[in-house]
Amino acid sequence: MSSSKNYSRREITKQIGVAAGLSLATRGFAMTGPATPAQVEGPFHPVHPNAETDTDLTLLAGHTQRATGETVLVRGIVRDTEGKPLFNALVDVWQANHHGRYSHSEDPNPAPLDPHFQGWGLMTTGREGNYGFKTIKPGPYPLKFLGEGGWRCQHIHFKVSCLGYQSLTTQMYFHGDPLIEQDLEIAKAPKVLRPLLIASSVPDEATGLPQYAFDVSLAPA
């Protein structure tokens, strides 16, 4: 029922505020540091408007079944390289489903689509630069379908933009994923900066779900 999705939106908004407040209280403001490393956008950024792009990617309106896979929360703060939180930055996220396939007409991967997975979300940051969304861990996928060798490890794509700053396209990786070591895309980032792209998790106090922290730093325009 659609009311199920509406309830989910209210709950996730509440959880975002609580989690972001805890994150800000415990981490404080970052010191001056480098901008988050840019990563390739990839060929599967959504090109057609989705019916939904809210912050709960695991449940579609009118559906009672959630997306297949491990449900996780992603939380973070968008800052500039001086450590100032950025309000009203646009955070655009998209990813493969649990089976490693994108809901994109050009994805040649024969893995199944998930009719219950949103796969794309759009949000803006709060006054303290905070953002957050609920999703599933994306599956890895073999690159042979794109004419290459090896595998892409689990990752979520981000495009972050804010007035007065350089827009950033990057990717978030998951700590502990054994495929990170052979992933050719993360290897393109300077070695010293790669840890900025790998998110670790702690249990969310409200839900018990894994909560991954992924902060983003934008350079001035």
User: Active-site residues: which are they?
Assistant: 102, 141, 152, 155, 157
Tell me which DSSP letter residue 170 carries: E
**What is the C-alpha separation between 159 and 180, in angstroms, rounded?**
21
Q: In this structure, what token pair is assigned to residue 48?
A: 């057609």
Backbone phi and psi for residue 85, each to the nearest 5 degrees, phi listed first: -65, 140
Number of helices followed by number of strands (H, E) in the chain = 1, 12
**What is the C-alpha separation between 188 and 204, in angstroms, rounded?**
32
| Spatial CA neighbour of 140 closest among 106, 96, 195 | 96
| Spatial CA neighbour of 92 closest among 180, 161, 14 | 161
